[in-house]
Amino acid sequence: MGRKKDKTKSKSDKKQKKAKGTMAERADKFACYLASVQSPEHEIEFFEDVYKEEFGRKPLTLQEDFCGTFSVCCEWVKSSKKRTAVGVDLCPETLQWGRDNVLTKLKDSQKVRVSLQEQDVRKKNDTRCDILAAQNFSFWIFKTRAEVVEYFKCALANMNDESLMIMDMMGGGECYDLGHIDKRRIKKGKNGFKYWWEQAHYNPVNHDCSFFIHFVFDDGSRLNRAFEYHWRFWTIPEVREMLEEAGFSKSYVYWEIEDKKGRDTGEWERNEEAMPHPSWLAYIVAVK
């Protein structure tokens, strides 16, 4: 009787599981993205360090271009009662997810210090900022020099007299390998999943490139192409030249520090020289 009962229970469990769907079907792609890609606390620490290094004080106002779910904006206003943030993005779905899932976690006194603009980042705002962040390679969506310079000029117009524009960059030979997939486990346990970053396309003639994010769950199900990016692969020298053309006074490159065994430390230093690496990340910090 005991074995029969276990069998019946097993069938019931299978039916319930089937009714709920696979982990991929139940997953929230935006929540997976935040867990896999973003680290708002780290970003704000970096913003503070480089701003203080340049101007000797703490920054108070932030504009997050291509902000998506604007988690950096929300973390920014949490870090000080004096801070305000503006998030700018064209996608209404992503902004709404942020309102429902990120903004709601703030106190009322913090929420009022976050404002959102559903618009093209190449538009002048009424407010000015100390830090203008354009992260996750998002400005690579502009594929011509003229488009990037136009964007940088608009960014400059949205910045205070003492201000920085901060962007991240990537590169290295591995970034051009078609079909290469960077796989990382994000969570363990019953809600465990992996993050896969696929390099799907690269054209060396015009630097057009495509990247996909997939999420792979522990029940074997997948969210394929949860996010797609179709960019131009810009290089650090090109971006610095375009910043100068747009009117920025100077720019710096911050390279990640490695330990004696060649492992990334999560710390960054200003550098004009770096050793070749098959897959590197860096920041460009431009001074108005």
pLDDT tens digits, 189-231: 777 899 999 999 999 999 999 999 999 998 889 999 999 999 9
pLDDT tens digits, 154-170: 999 999 999 999 999 99
Burial class (CB in 10 A: 0-12, 13-18, 19+), 104: exposed
Question: So what's the pLDDT on residue 60?
Answer: 98
Structure tokens at 147: 């488009």
Question: So what's the pLDDT on residue 125?
Answer: 87
| CATH architecture for segment(s) 33-171+235-287 | 3-Layer(aba) Sandwich (3.40)
Lowest mean pLDDT among 19-23, 48-52, 197-201, 216-220: 19-23
User: How sure is the predictor about 36, in pLDDT bands with cuts at 50, 70 and 90?
Assistant: very high
Q: Residues with Cβ < 8 Å from 247, sequence gap 6 or more? A: 152, 153, 156
Longest dimension (CA), the chain: 81
pLDDT tens digits, 99-121: 999 999 999 999 999 999 999 99
pLDDT, mean of residues 47-74: 96
Q: Indicate whether 4 pLDDT > 90.
A: no
Q: Indicate whether 18 pLDDT > 80.
A: no
Q: Indicate whether 95 pLDDT > 80.
A: yes
d(Cα 214, Cα 33) in Å, to the nearest integer? 10
Question: So what's the pLDDT on residue 12?
Answer: 47
CB 131 within 8 A of CB 51: yes
pLDDT tens digits, 140-199: 999 999 999 999 999 999 999 999 999 999 998 888 888 889 999 988 777 789 999 999
Beta pairing class for 61-65 and 129-134: parallel
Coil, helix or strand for 84?
strand
Model-wide pTM > 0.75: yes
Q: What is the mean pLDDT of the chain?
A: 90
User: How sure is the predictor about 83, in pLDDT bands with cuts at 50, 70 and 90?
Assistant: very high
User: How sure is the predictor about 7, in pLDDT bands with cuts at 50, 70 and 90?
Assistant: very low
d(Cα 84, Cα 113) in Å, to the nearest integer? 5
CA separation, residue 142 to residues 91, 149, 227 (Å): 16, 10, 18
Question: So what's the pLDDT on residue 262?
Answer: 65
Question: So what's the pLDDT on residue 5?
Answer: 42
Please tell me the number of Cα atoms within 13 Å of 36 on its side-chain side: 23
d(Cα 128, Cα 157) in Å, to the nearest integer? 8
Question: So what's the pLDDT on residue 274?
Answer: 87
Beta pairing class for 250-258 and 280-287: antiparallel
The vertex-190 CA angle with 189 and 195, nearest 5°, equals 70
What is the 3-state secondary structure of 126-191? CCCEEEEEECCCHHHHCCCHHHHHHHHHHHHHCEEEEEEEEEEEEECHHHHCCCCEEEEEEECCCC
pLDDT, mean of residues 81-86: 96
